[in-house]
Amino acid sequence: MNLNFGRGDSDENVVRNFHRFCSAAGFDYSTLVASAQDHHTFVRRVGAENYGTGVWKPKDMKSADGLITNEKDVTLVTFYADCVPLFFLDPQKRTIGLAHAGWRGTAAKMGAEMVNAMVREFGSSPKDILAAVGPSIGPCCFEVDAPVYEEFAALPGIHPEKFIVHKGGGKYMIDLWEANRRIIMEAGVPAENIEVAQLCTECNAQWLWSHRASGAKRGGLAAMMCLKGEKK
């Protein structure tokens, strides 16, 4: 089921898919607030005043790969097809965050930007934050050339040798799940608070959208997250 606009399906059909998904998974369509992803690390704080943005109202920003909120009944929405979804919950401050981290966002430490934004905006303590790394291209499939490898090899503080395998011939396998896990830990979130789905989109392309498996002729996944309040 395609949950991305502008990928060849009519907007009407994508909206229909959103309705289907929301009613099946227990989200309220009227409360959706979507990101504006452009592979940067800007984090936007959103609330009820942003209802519909990027889904049933036009986008109003060019760059917001991360969303955070402390309001109930605000459903954060981000989009994927191999890139890494990062989920955050601070049960103490009752706040959530959802971020899109492709390889560029991962190398730019989007995971740490999200933790820092929750600390800054909501007074979260990193040790209280729970995080999850969602389905995305895995270490089995994410092969890169030297320029991408060099971005990851240069990351200070998180031991790139733990998530890069040299294949030879100028090719490298990068484990984006482990890189994100280490980046979130470096920002102060304890290891025991981080879950990794370990589910590769390319290996499971028969039921998850994968850009590497399908190329440009594909739909897209969405991640959603909401603090449940009074609405259904």
Which CB atom, from 54 or from 85, has the smaller least distance to Zn ion?
85
**Closest residue to Zn ion using C-beta atoms:** 200
To Zn ion, the closest distance from the beta carbon of 212 in angstroms equals 9
Which CB atom, from 64 or from 176, has the smaller least distance to Zn ion?
176
Beta-carbon neighbour count of residue 26 at 10 Å? 10
To Zn ion, the closest distance from the beta carbon of 179 in angstroms equals 16
Which CB atom, from 65 or from 82, has the smaller least distance to Zn ion?
82
To Zn ion, the closest distance from the beta carbon of 160 in angstroms equals 20
Taking only Cα atoms into account, the Rg of the chain, rounded to an integer number of angstroms, comes to 17
**CA torsion, points 117, 115, 70, 230, in degrees to nearest 10?**
150
To Zn ion, the closest distance from the beta carbon of 198 in angstroms equals 10
Tokens of 83: 């890139």
Helices (H), the chain: 11-25, 103-107, 110-122, 146-153, 176-186, 211-214
Which CB atom, from 90 or from 175, has the smaller least distance to Zn ion?
175
Tokens of 151: 């971005």
- Residues near Zn ion (CB under 5 A) are 138, 140-141, 200, 202-203
